[in-house]
Amino acid sequence: MSGITIALSKGRIFDETLPLLDAAGIVPADNPESSRKLIIGTNRADVRIVIVRASDVPTYVQYGAADLGIAGKDVLLEHGGAGLYQPLDLEIAKCRMSVAVPQGFDYVQAVQRGARLRVATKYIHTAREHFAGKGVHVDLIKLYGSMELAPLAGLAEAIVDLVSSGGTLKANNLVEVEQIMPISSRLIVNQASLKVKREALQPVIDCFAAAVARQAKA
């Protein structure tokens, strides 16, 4: 397909991408929060947006169903990044990947003891790397959401999850015991698209880069 297809997830990524699109002269014709459309046109006849799950964005871009996309580092680490260029950290949707345990659980001692720690997470790959790097033996349990429930329900002793304000952890009597890495969202580009459609894509990438640089200074 000629023209540019951009894959975005609705919610914070869509909202925080609007100013970047604006800087590139791209204005979506609908808001995915109120419209049920999965393909959204823009003010530019040659640019459309496809609305997909956050964790599906790299897949759409990898296979060229979208030329560009915006995805969190958390999602990209789990996907692996095959077929993708990641030219820009957009510094949006910022949070951190952390280990959390129930209040009163002695994490340091549990880790030192060398016993296997049961950890529930959506981020199996990142969690495995993290604990392997520390030499901590873990049994990882894959979840798709509401990680906070796992320790409370007795499914796991610890979770690996994204934290921003810490409000959700606090509301569930969990404490952050280790920060694994800072997380922000990146622009991703299909490698073949970048070669074939460079004339159309490069100006958009450049406008995003300029907007990020302006934001960093502000």
Q: Is 50 in the site for ligand ATP (CB under 6 A)?
A: no
The CB-nearest residue to ligand ATP is: 72
Q: Tell me how far apart the alpha carbons of residues 24 and 2 are, in angstroms, rounded to a whole number.
A: 18
Quick one: 54 or 127, whose CB is closer to ligand ATP? 54
Among residue numbers 135 through 174, which ones bind ligand ATP (CB under 6 A)?
145, 162, 164
CB of 165 to ligand ATP, least distance (A): 7
Q: Tell me how far apart the alpha carbons of residues 205 and 149 are, in angstroms, rounded to a whole number.
A: 40
Task: Give the total of residues touching ligand ATP (CB under 6 A).
Answer: 18
Quick one: 61 or 75, whose CB is closer to ligand ATP? 75
Considering only 4, 13, 66, 187, the residue that binds ligand ATP (CB under 6 A) is 13
Q: Is 74 in the site for ligand ATP (CB under 6 A)?
A: yes
Longest CA–CA separation in the chain, Å:
61
Strand segments, DSSP code E, in 39-108 are 39-41, 47-51, 68-72, 84-102
Quick one: 93 or 111, whose CB is closer to ligand ATP? 93
Q: Tell me how far apart the alpha carbons of residues 102 and 173 are, in angstroms, rounded to a whole number.
A: 6
In terms of Cβ atoms closer than 10 Å to its own Cβ (0-12, 13-18, 19+), residue 131 is buried
Nearest to 2 by CA among 37, 36, 44, 53: 44
The encoded tokens of residue 192 equal 């073949």
Tell me which DSSP letter residue 115 carries.
P
Instruction: Choose one: 7-15, 102-110, 131-139, 190-198; the region binding ligand ATP (CB under 6 A).
Output: 7-15
Considering only 8, 21, 54, 180, the residue that binds ligand ATP (CB under 6 A) is 54
Binding site for ligand ATP (CB under 6 A): 9, 11-13, 53-55, 72, 74-75, 93-95, 145, 162, 164, 183, 185
